[in-house]
Amino acid sequence: MSGDLRFFVEKVLSGNIFPSERFVSDHNSLLLITRLLREAGKTIVMTTGAFDVFHAGHAVYLQKAKEAGGQNSILVVGVDSDRWIREKKHRDPIRSLEDRVLTVAHLRSVDIVTEKYFEDITQFVRPHISVRSESSLKMSQERLTEMRKYCDRIIFFPPQSDTHSGDLIRKMSEG
């Protein structure tokens, strides 16, 4: 295992990591990092999202996701790729991936950030807990069964504010 990955894990464990250093682009490295963190006794919590028009509900959601794992948790956040947003939300992203990643990485509750492509990053993170929004309840039973192969528990959170990104985007487009 690379010394760079061990050094990264030590920084995460110490909390002495700059937001710009929290991004892990390689999912195979992410698998090794989360394995080391589990071996260190950490509870791995994972969630994903576009975080395109970031608002207070996102910040509260991420804080509660971290808290779901208790005091010994590490929160890994997958930020949806630009291509994912285009194909799933049928629009271009408002903000660049780099900007969205850095915004999420600056939150105290977030320990590691990665890009989420189309594949399920659950298999790379292998979290103890996967936190999803209630909108994910629409997932097929087959998809949920697949996710459960790689995590112990799936928790669904209701919206954390009355603000919704889609409403903000519509307001911005109306001018």
> Does 90 reside within a domain?
yes
Residue 140: the pLDDT is: 78
Q: What is the pTM of this model?
A: 0.91
Mean pLDDT of 154-168: 76
Q: Assess if residue 7 is contained within a domain.
A: no
The answer on pLDDT for 2 being more than 90 is no
pLDDT in the model for residue 169: 65
The mean pLDDT value for 118-138 works out to 85
Q: Which residues contact 166 (CB under 8 A, 6 or more apart)?
A: none
Q: Residue 114 maps to which CATH number?
A: 3.40.50.620
State the pLDDT at residue 8: 96
In which region does residue 130 sit, left (phi positive, over 0), alpha (psi from -120 to 50) or beta (all else)?
beta
- On whether residue 32 sits in a domain, the answer given is no
Average pLDDT on 145-168 reads 82
Does residue 162 lie within any of the structural domains?
A: yes
pLDDT value at 171 more than 70: no
Task: Look at residue 155 in the predicted model and tell me its pLDDT.
Answer: 94
Q: For residues 63 and 131, give the distance between their C-alpha atoms in angstroms, rounded to a whole number.
A: 11
The residue type at 21: E
Into how many domains does the chain fold?
1
Q: Is residue 12 part of a domain?
A: no
Residue 132 domain-assigned (yes or no): yes
Residue 30 lies in a domain: no
Predicted pLDDT of residue 58:
92
Please give the average per-residue pLDDT across 1-20, as a whole number: 90
**Alpha helix stretches (DSSP H) within 40-140:** 56-68, 82-89, 97-105, 122-125
Domain that holds residue 121: 42-174
**Averaged over 8-13, what is the pLDDT?**
95
d(CA 153, CA 136): 14
Mean pLDDT of 44-50: 96
